[in-house]
Amino acid sequence: MIRRALARLSGGSDPSSAAGMGGPIALSDLPAGSEATLSGGLLPADEMRLLEAMGISDRSLLRVCRQGEPCIVESRNVRVGISRAVARRLHTEPRVLSPKSA
């Protein structure tokens, strides 16, 4: 299911093409249950520092617990609610799980 959603987001019809999408995906576009690595964002420095204080920093592994308002993500065993507006501006690299680990 996650692979299909990632393939849809990338514009491809083949779920295996999602791994090589070539570009970041907004945190707000990831389906609940997916994992991704934070790769940057279009946020002011003070907002990025606030996220870092909550444990979300560049290269953090994130698991999307819930999409919506707020978007709830887990990082380092801590859940954080992030507004949809902020989640739209955070870039992630989805982690495609193999069928054995899914």
Instruction: Look at residue 99 in the predicted model and tell me its pLDDT.
Output: 63
User: How far apart, in whole angstroms, are the C-alpha atoms of residue 10 and residue 90?
Assistant: 16
What digits encode the pLDDT tens for the residues 7-45?
Answer: 444 444 333 334 445 689 999 999 999 999 999 889 999
Segment 77-97, tens digit of pLDDT: 999 999 999 999 999 999 876
In a domain, 14, yes or no: no
Domains of the chain: total: 1
Residue 60 belongs to some domain of the structure: yes
| Spatial distance between the Cα atoms of 60 and 33, rounded to a whole number of angstroms | 16
Answer whether residue 36 is part of any domain. Answer: yes
CATH of the domain at 51: 2.30.30.90
* Domain containing residue 89: 25-95
0.75 exceeded by pTM: no
Is position 83 within any domain?
A: yes
